Amino acid sequence: MARLTSILLLLSLLCFFPLCLCDKSYGGKLFPGFYAHSCPQAGEIVRSVVAKAVARETRMAASLMRLHFHDCFVQGCDGSLLLDSSGKIVSEKGSNPNSRSARGFDVVDQIKAELEKQCPGTVSCADALTLAARDSSVLTGGPSWVVSLGRRDSRSASLSGSNNNIPAPNNTFQTILSKFNRQGLDVTDLVALSGSHTIGFSRCTSFRQRLYNQSGNGRPDMTLEQSFAANLRQRCPRSGGDQILSVLDIISAAKFDNSYFKNLIENKGLLNSDQVLFSSNEKSRELVKKYAEDQGEFFEQFAESMIKMGNISPLTGSSGEIRKNCRKINS
């Protein structure tokens, strides 16, 4: 009888043990069921807020995906980009890649407020932003993927990291690839993730150089298709109008599809950092062609590369914190 009791006790402990793991760091690694018991509705809460935001403004999907990208390339996917300047923290929002262009912070605030209402002190801002990026893809017709969770929020930001690590619109192909390589991403990830430019807009200041002074000799970028360039000049003057927007994908700016790659083949990529994928490297050129021909292939690789990017240097276990407010560290 005593032996039977011991066996039953052991079985009960084994049954309970996995449940304990679901709300803690699973060996310091991320996994999809991290909030299965502490906040099972987390995914639905994020999805609901993002859906309403995208319904109000389709552009918001691109903005949220860009926030995730700019967050992960600085200190890893730790929500550092979401911090405002305060005390010793100098916000990444003031960096060259983010100043006057990064947006969607109010939507992240709404997500966090709902999560705190339902599951106080449980879901990190870093995880919320990662889920929001996935949902932004799905809501605009793009692929879905399983998001591993368990990221914690940083207690610091890096303005210099934001200025140095995030590729700029006028960077050369090799500079962009080097910045991706630093994050453990390769040329396939670079081309696939650049495909997120199938939705959204860019500011005149980000592509003006191509229109008027590409190489410092007062001449435009000759790889830019002429009629496309002429149309852009009507919207983007030689000086002034920095904040004027143009679509990144002239075929279907509000739909996540593979038309971005078709544009590159026709030399109608808006940004220099887009067009160099086709004009400057043989391997990336072949990938552009492949994704232009096969949307399914692009979607599959995009999902895989987003998972890979979302796993860059996460804080787990007892590192970092779970912020109550994504804009400031807990006091």
Residue pLDDT, tens place only, 283-319: 999 999 999 999 999 999 999 999 999 999 999 999 9
Instruction: Detail the residues annotated as belonging to a binding site for Ca(2+).
Output: 71, 74, 76, 78, 80, 92, 198, 249, 257
In this structure, the number of other CB atoms found within 10 A of the CB of residue 28 comes to 12
In this structure, the number of other CB atoms found within 10 A of the CB of residue 162 comes to 27
**Quick one: the chain helix, strand, coil %, rounded to 5?**
55, 5, 40
Indicate if the pLDDT at residue 48 is higher than 60.
yes
- Give the pLDDT mean for 117-138: 98
Identify whether 70 is a catalytic site residue: yes
Of 68, 73, 303, 304, the residue nearest 184 (C-alpha): 73
Whole-angstrom Cα distance, residue 230 to residue 219? Answer: 14
Residue whose structure tokens are 């700019």 = 70
Whole-angstrom Cα distance, residue 50 to residue 107? Answer: 7
Contacts from 52-61 at CB under 8 Å and sequence distance 24+?
A: 53/104, 53/107, 53/110, 54/136, 54/139, 54/140, 58/140, 58/199, 58/254, 59/199, 59/200, 59/201, 60/103, 60/104, 60/107, 60/136, 61/136, 61/137, 61/139, 61/140, 61/199, 61/200, 61/256
Helix (H) or strand (E) run with residue 160 in it: helix 159-165
Residue 211, pLDDT score:
93
Whole-angstrom Cα distance, residue 107 to residue 57? Answer: 11
Pull the structure tokens for residue 52.
Answer: 């309403």
Instruction: Detail the residues annotated as belonging to a binding site for heme b.
Output: 197
Helix or strand or coil: residue 12? helix
Residue from 59, 66, 68, 70 carrying the catalytic annotation: 70
Range in 120-134, 211-225, 269-283 with the lowest mean pLDDT: 211-225
CATH class for the region spanning 41-200+248-311? mainly alpha
Residue pLDDT, tens place only, 146-200: 999 999 999 999 999 999 999 999 999 999 999 999 999 999 999 999 999 999 9
Instruction: Detail the residues annotated as belonging to a binding site.
Output: 71, 74, 76, 78, 80, 92, 167, 197-198, 249, 257
Give the residue, 253 or 82, on which the prediction is more confident.
82
Mean residue pLDDT across the chain: 91
Q: Look at the alpha carbons of 203, 78, 190, 163 in this order and tell me if their dihedral is positive or negative.
A: positive
Residue 24, pLDDT score:
45
- Give the pLDDT mean for 102-106: 97
Pull the structure tokens for residue 251.
Answer: 């075929």
What are the φ and ψ backbone dihedral angles of 203, each rounded to 5 degrees?
A: -85, 150
Whole-angstrom Cα distance, residue 21 to residue 35? Answer: 10
Pull the structure tokens for residue 28.
Answer: 């310091």
Indicate if the pLDDT at residue 8 is higher than 70.
no
Classify residue 203 by its DSSP letter: E
Whole-angstrom Cα distance, residue 64 to residue 49? Answer: 12
Residue pLDDT, tens place only, 218-254: 888 888 999 999 999 999 999 999 999 999 999 998 9
- Confirm if 96 and 23 have CB atoms less than 8 A apart: no
